[in-house]
Amino acid sequence: KAKDERGSFFRLYDAEIASEEAERRRVKSDLIQVVQSRGLEVYGQPILNLATRQVDHFEALVRWQNGSTQFIPPSNFIPLAEEIGLISEVGDFVLHEVLEHLSCWPDTLKACINVSVLQLGDGRFAENVLNSLSRQNVSPLRLEVEVTESILMEHGSGAHADLQRLRTAGITLALDDFGIGFSSLGYLQEMRFDKLKIDRKFVSEVDTSSGSAAIVRSISDLAKSLQMTCTAEGVENAGHLYCIEQCGCDYAQGFHIGEPVPLSQIEPGFVFAGGLEHVPIEVQGREP
Ligand code: C2E
Ligand code: MG
Ligand code: MG
Ligand code: MG
pTM over 0.80: yes
Q: What does the pLDDT look like over 117-170, one tens digit per residue?
A: 889 887 889 999 999 999 999 999 999 999 987 666 665 568 888 999 999 999
The more confident residue out of 282 and 185 is: 185
Query: Phi and psi for 273 in degrees, rounded to 5?
Result: -85, -25
The protein residue with its alpha carbon nearest to ligand 1, atom 17, reads 234
235 contacts 252 by C-beta, under 8 angstroms: yes
Q: How confident is the model at residue 277 (pLDDT cuts 50, 70, 90)?
A: very low
241 contacts 280 by C-beta, under 8 angstroms: no
What is the rounded radius of gyration, in angstroms, for the C-alpha atoms of the chain? 21
Cα 204 to ligand 4 centroid, rounded to whole Å = 4
Query: Phi and psi for 175 in degrees, rounded to 5?
Result: -100, 115
Distances (CA, A) of 80 to 33, 75, 97, 242: 13, 9, 21, 38
Q: Is 203 in the pocket of ligand 1 (CB under 6 A)?
A: no
Interface predicted TM-score of the whole assembly (ipTM), two decimals: 0.97
Distances (CA, A) of 106 to 101, 102, 170: 10, 8, 18
Query: Phi and psi for 185 in degrees, rounded to 5?
Result: -65, -25
Check residue 220 and give its pLDDT: 98
Cα 198 to ligand 3 centroid, rounded to whole Å = 7
Check residue 272 and give its pLDDT: 61
Q: What does the pLDDT look like over 26-84, one tens digit per residue?
A: 888 999 999 989 899 999 999 999 988 888 999 999 999 887 778 899 999 999 999 99
Q: Looking at ligand 1, which atom is closest to the CA of residue 204?
A: 19
Q: Is 74 in the pocket of ligand 1 (CB under 6 A)?
A: yes
pLDDT exceeds 90 at position 281:
no
Check residue 6 and give its pLDDT: 58
99 contacts 136 by C-beta, under 8 angstroms: yes
Check residue 24 and give its pLDDT: 82
Q: What does the pLDDT look like over 197-228, one tens digit per residue?
A: 999 999 999 999 999 999 999 999 999 999 99
pLDDT exceeds 70 at position 275:
no
Q: Is 94 in the pocket of ligand 1 (CB under 6 A)?
A: yes
Check residue 278 and give its pLDDT: 46
Check residue 191 and give its pLDDT: 84
Relative to the alpha carbon of 239, which ligand is closest? 4
Check residue 149 and give its pLDDT: 73
N- to C-terminal Cα distance for the chain? Answer: 56
Relative to the alpha carbon of 235, which ligand is closest? 1
